[in-house]
Structure 1
Amino acid sequence: MASVASAALVAGLLSGSGSRADEQPPASVQLSYACELPTAANADASPNATQAAAKLAATVKVTTQLPATAVAGQPIQAGPVQVETVLPRAELADRLPAGEELTSEATLAVEVRQNGQKADATWSGLSGRTDMPADGTDLVLAHTGDVPSITVGSPGEIELIAGDLTLLVASASGAPTTATCSPAEGADSRLAKVAVPGGPGTEPEQSPSEETAPGEENGQSGDGVTVTPGDEDEPKAADVTCGEKPTGTPDVSQAPPPPSTPSVSQLPGFQACAYAVGLATVRKQNGSMIINDPSATPALMDVAANVQVASADDPVTTETWTRFDSLGRLSLPEADSTFLGFGFMPVSAKVAFDTGLITISTGSTRNAEGAYAVATFFQTLRIRSVKVNGTALPVGSDCRTKKAFRVTLRGTINDDGSGSYTNVLAGGLLTGKVTIPAFTGCGAGGENLNPLFTAAISGPDNVIAMNQAPVCSPELQFGCPPVMPPLPPLKLSAP
């Protein structure tokens, strides 16, 4: 899932999908970092006991697919990028229980330099999964993801310099752990160099010896150079604050069943929020409408991440089955829908969604089915402002589905990162099919329009796809402000 949180752009540039000017095999660099773990509750002691902040050395291996040379004015792709961090297990033993499955997300700050100028990029949403070693083996957190492209407006060598690294690691039975890391003192932090040759008669806009004046970075102009945070054609997420954590009982009825009676532990969870945007089809009308339109005023989904964990032993394989449960609350804005009614009549309407508490469960079946992600909730549709061929159709103030219907969306999770969904921290694509019930309350002035809407809309196999962005957690000071994910593909399919 492409991140649009922030892109690094130098010399009058825009970030886009990009392409590599000359294909190169992936190149890796190994960097030395110093990390710090904050004070945290001690799970093995009394509830009021705490662990002191810890400092530890880390080795970070960054793999990119940058070209050796690029062309001024054309986007340069660096990814998919891999960030592998090796942390000493001894410092983490009390925070991350041995043998438990871990989900993690990495955010790496990158400074882009060219011709004495520089701009900041954020490589966020890099995600991974692993198990906490049961013995003295160091913990290896491998993260993979796409990152924004880079475009420069003039010839001159580009340098990418690694900056601060933030790691968010969550286990099944404990609170998430955040490690904030910086390049070790005196260490070489250069990630890569890319040559941008000049054509005939071209000269760099600024000599390498000239320095960027204060205040001329991060979106400000200097000597005709503009640094912008992302593709102007892509939606931007507003600088907003997450709401309160949702509360309630997770609905795990749609998750794969455990192999035996599970042990369920309640956790405090942590506050987070994320944008989720998508498409919903109406099969009878052979069309789709945008849900939580990123180009309008999208709503944030508030999340209580990891409020419950269940585990069980498989009596046949003796392997451990696990499930993480999180809660979400999303008050969707109205959607504008336009269809050709019965294949020939233009019909437009505003559709409102009354959405109940969302349960997001991820886990591993430990068998051929592999890991899974499932989100489920109940929803009611309301319709107003209906126009048929431009003429208003009076539908009244309470045109809605007769009852709430269940929405269940599923995603795949693969260890190699190829699945549609990663975890509740990093998000991803979830799809499913719903059956829309019959309509009631439609009509005004004694006219009953319920049969019309039921015939035009109600029925099975209506595909919904929602793309969730990585979460922002003010509580953990991670991933904020929230970023806007791209819409799912227009050609939808679902299990």
Structure 2
Amino acid sequence: MALAPLLPAAAVAVETLKVDTALPYVCALPSGPQPATVRIRAAFPDRAAVGEEIRPTDVTTTVELPAAAVADLTALKAAEVRAETALGVAAGQNGQETQAVWRGTAQPTGVPADGPLTLTTTGDVPVVTASAAGDLSFTAGNLDVGLALGTADGTPADPASLSVACAPDEDAEEDGQLATVPIAPGPSTGEPGGSPSPSDSVPPSSPPASGPDPSESQDGAAPTHGLPRNEETGAGAEKPAGAEKPAGGKSAGAPEAADTPSGTPAGRGSAPTCRNEQATPTTLTAYITGYSNVRKLNGANAIPVSCVFIEQGEPGIEFRPDGMHVVQTSDASLFHEGRKQTPPFQATFLTFGFAPTTATLVLEQVGPMSVESDMLANYPVYTSDAYVRAPLVLRVLDARVNGTRLDVGPSCRTEKPLTSLEPDPVKYPGDHLVLHGTGRQVIPDPATGYQLTSGGALTGEVTIPAFKGCGAGGENLDRLFTASISGPGNYIKQIQGQTCSAGLEDPPADQCTEDRQPAVIPKPER
């Protein structure tokens, strides 16, 4: 490849080329396809040399949705939206092209009574490095807009989120080109203007041809970041300092399932349906489960077997002082009967130390969820870190104290998403859960730990916010739930099973069932 998308780094430019362009798009809204205007502002260097990193700065993406979008949101009783955007940008040179994703987030915006809805997001974007001379062009492509919806009283709407897919208007004259940066020959390019072969950009520290290629998929799956396929998943990350790990049980290990002689699970038990009807070649599906502490109640509750859809992002390569890193950010979403949530599950505790309380709960996804992976490839040792970020609200559907039913009403939930300490708050603002997993492989030994494709253990610590909307018939139960459940220091251990490459024509039998559901159903581990 002549180009490689890298992680953000400082771009050096003699002069700045400022871009401000408005492009016609068509967005798929609940009411149907609607015209929209997407305005992109950015600053590029006006020229660069081969091998020099180019990073657009001051990037904003403004989406103006028509009045029909406002009507759709009003019908969903949404009074406030929080937007996240993912804009595909093609970087092309000398007939070759690579894709990058410009991601942005916005502060909450009120839904107007009528007229258009304007959403402006900002964020860092990937670096692009040209390894040949010639004009380097940047062209805007498809745009995905994720909307977290809130009602007038501050609670999540129903549904709590809306995904809007936008594409450039095919009938428009504009081609989406944002900027062209001339690339001058550098000292190590050989012939001026020459286009290097793939090996020209591989440093001596990269693994030899006999080692695994981190940019290639395993078992014919779509490209994905991760170590070579896990044959025997080992221990996951250690629990965070101060977290109270549930007593008893074994250490993190491979997701387990009762196997038939063919190697597929013998029975699906209570596992919910996990089939993506709109799978693409890069779509993965998987089951997750685990345990979560409720520190105030001095106990741990099982997280039910739940379905998650993962849409893999484009892997990128970055050369750092410690070696070559393969990085990837993938989008994910929970799925249960058409909603972004877990199946309902029961939790039983001794409230205040003496009152047996049973509650029926749901974890509801209220915004975009991501899986960020970073693998250091120093042959023969491969190590990886993965972070899962998910905005999840805890809903209470039913509660009984000492056998007597409490009427919690239809809107009992945490007033905001569960929150974790975020290691990169500038890049990932807002309230969300953070889970972390590590992986390692020393060739030729099997890989251990967590990988996106083969799963493993992810751990984290979460604060449960105060509750809101609990009670019916004039009885306010908010303070009761807040006093008995809410608070910091709740340790979580989640186990992800082997993924199913649901978009492949012939996925491996040990990964997928005949109807393209994940074959492996993991067991929770304490």
TM-score by length of 1: 0.47
TM-score by length of 2: 0.44
